[in-house]
Amino acid sequence: MSEFVSGRHFLQTPGPTNLPERVLRAMDRNAINHRGPEFGALGREVIARLRHVLQTAAIIGIFPASGTGAWESALVNTLAPGDRILISRTGQFSHLWEQMARRLGLDVATLETDWRRGADAGAIHSALAEDREHRIKAVCAVHSETSTSCMTDIPAVRSAIDRAAHPALLFVDAISSLGCADYRHDEWGVDVTIAGTQKGLMAPPGLSFTAIGDKALAAARAGGSARSYWDWAPLVAANQTGFFPYTPAINLLFALNEALAMLAEEGLPAVFARHARYAQATRLAAAAWGLELQCADPAAYAPGVTAIRTPDGHSADKLRNVILERFNMSLGNGLGRLEDRIFRIGHMGDLGVLTFTGTLTGVEMGLRAAGIPHQEGGVQAAMNFLAAGGAAA
Ligand SMILES: *Cc1c(COP(=O)(O)O)cnc(C)c1O
């Protein structure tokens, strides 16, 4: 087989996502002096634009790290070893966050789910109501569980905390929902939001950030764990000046700034409606194929990714390999306990309608080539919906 493959690779993983040409051009330039005035203006602009997508006026701490680093910063700035946290294990990402918390010496109370729905706000409420001594210091929730394509209702979690009149902080991982779904750090009363660049924000991997509310800032000032690199204190100052306490990832910031400008130009409501349309079209295709969705709760369907189960006895990884080899497209794999049971179609970030329908075409051809039992007509169902205007339900 010749090594050369004609045409553009379809990167339809739920992160990293496709980089728009404008973002590629924005970072394709020399670095600048990170202590000079041009950088200060860039830093301030990126922070202002991040506030816009997070719908917040909060302090934003940016780290040259993947999302995992921002998870750690949230935990070590506000909590000390032995502090108790409550986390719902809704999928592989909450599992990894939970494991990190244990390694950091936190006392973790875990609420289990079947990985087919979001966190159960009622269970969170009960756990908090029983905690009369207020030993639980923080509740951790993953807004969009990228491994299962299920959303957690963050306002419902907030209200569970409030109804229990519990002082725990609320930490939300919005890594794969930001730029795909409506997200309101301030209005929803989130104390720390964690997000990263390589999913809905259409920028390269390598940057992550935390939006830090006043209560979390106070907790960080009063205590937390031993920390140095992840410390928020020097980053608080950066919100006014735009400068960082060390060499920032300058070219990634050029990229992120351009991507955020694009989101503002499209307008957040249009961005969210576009994601909802593609998600619904994907579900219509899955239904026509006769394949089952991993997310079993229609109220929790994620807008940026759809996880689809292969029929029992049929390898999802084999399907993905066939699609990669034959049709030059990458899809997300099943993670953790879902390994080889599901494949995930990423429809987040920079995605035009034809690239999106091309993605579904690759899946449908792959199902046939891999011998997965299915019915035809998934692409047709999606096209019918989109051609009719795709009024997202
Ligand atoms: C991708 C992802 C992470 C991990 O982020 P990295 O950048 O890979 O460290 C965490 N949480 C969610 C919900 C994600 O989608």
Using one digit for the tens of pLDDT, what is the confidence trace for 255-280? 999 999 999 999 999 999 999 999 99
Ligand 1, pocket residues at CB < 6 Å:
15, 66-68, 93, 142, 144, 146, 173, 175-176, 196, 199
d(C-alpha 363, C-alpha 323), whole Å = 7
Tokens of 99: 């494991």
Taking the centre of ligand 1 as the mean of its atom positions, its distance from the CA of residue 267, in whole angstroms, is: 25
pLDDT of residue 170: 98
Q: Among the listed ranges 173-177, 200-204, 327-331, 387-391, which one has the minimum average pLDDT value? A: 387-391
d(C-alpha 49, C-alpha 32), whole Å = 20
pLDDT of residue 391: 66
Q: Is the pLDDT of residue 392 over 70?
A: no
Q: Among the listed ranges 74-83, 99-108, 213-222, 228-237, which one has the minimum average pLDDT value? A: 228-237
Q: Is the pLDDT of residue 393 over 50?
A: no
Tokens of 103: 């390694």
Q: Which residue has a Cα nearest atom 2 of ligand 1? A: 175
Burial of 147 (0-12, 13-18, 19+ CB in 10 A): buried
Residue of 288, 328, 279, 329 whose CA lies nearest to 307: 279
Tokens of 393: 């339900």
pLDDT of residue 238: 85
Reported confidence tier of residue 237, pLDDT bands at 50, 70, 90: confident
Reported confidence tier of residue 3, pLDDT bands at 50, 70, 90: confident
Mention every residue, 6+ apart, whose C-beta is less than 8 A from residue 230. 63, 69, 72, 73, 76, 77
What's the average model confidence in pLDDT over 49-77?
98
Mutate to test the pocket of ligand 1, among 13, 68, 209 (most ligand atoms within 8 A of CB): 68
pLDDT of residue 1: 55
Q: Is the distance from CB of 261 to CB of 49 less than 8 angstroms?
A: yes
Mutate to test the pocket of ligand 1, among 95, 97, 146 (most ligand atoms within 8 A of CB): 146
Burial of 126 (0-12, 13-18, 19+ CB in 10 A): middle
Q: Is the pLDDT of residue 390 over 90?
A: no
Taking the centre of ligand 1 as the mean of its atom positions, its distance from the CA of residue 373, in whole angstroms, is: 32
d(C-alpha 16, C-alpha 255), whole Å = 14
Taking the centre of ligand 1 as the mean of its atom positions, its distance from the CA of residue 297, in whole angstroms, is: 22
Taking the centre of ligand 1 as the mean of its atom positions, its distance from the CA of residue 198, in whole angstroms, is: 9
pLDDT of residue 131: 98
Mean per-residue pLDDT of the chain: 97
pLDDT digit string, tens, across residues 295-351: 999 999 999 999 999 999 999 999 999 999 999 999 999 999 999 999 999 999 999
Q: Among the listed ranges 1-5, 27-31, 238-242, 360-364, which one has the minimum average pLDDT value? A: 1-5
d(C-alpha 295, C-alpha 162), whole Å = 28
Q: Which residue has a Cα nearest atom 3 of ligand 1? A: 67
Mutate to test the pocket of ligand 1, among 90, 94, 148, 176 (most ligand atoms within 8 A of CB): 176
Q: Is the distance from CB of 359 to CB of 27 less than 8 angstroms?
A: no
Burial of 312 (0-12, 13-18, 19+ CB in 10 A): exposed
What's the average model confidence in pLDDT over 119-133?
98
Sheet arrangement for strand 84-89: 59-63, 208-212, 192-196, 169-173, 136-142, 84-89, 107-112
Q: Is the distance from CB of 375 to CB of 336 less than 8 angstroms?
A: no
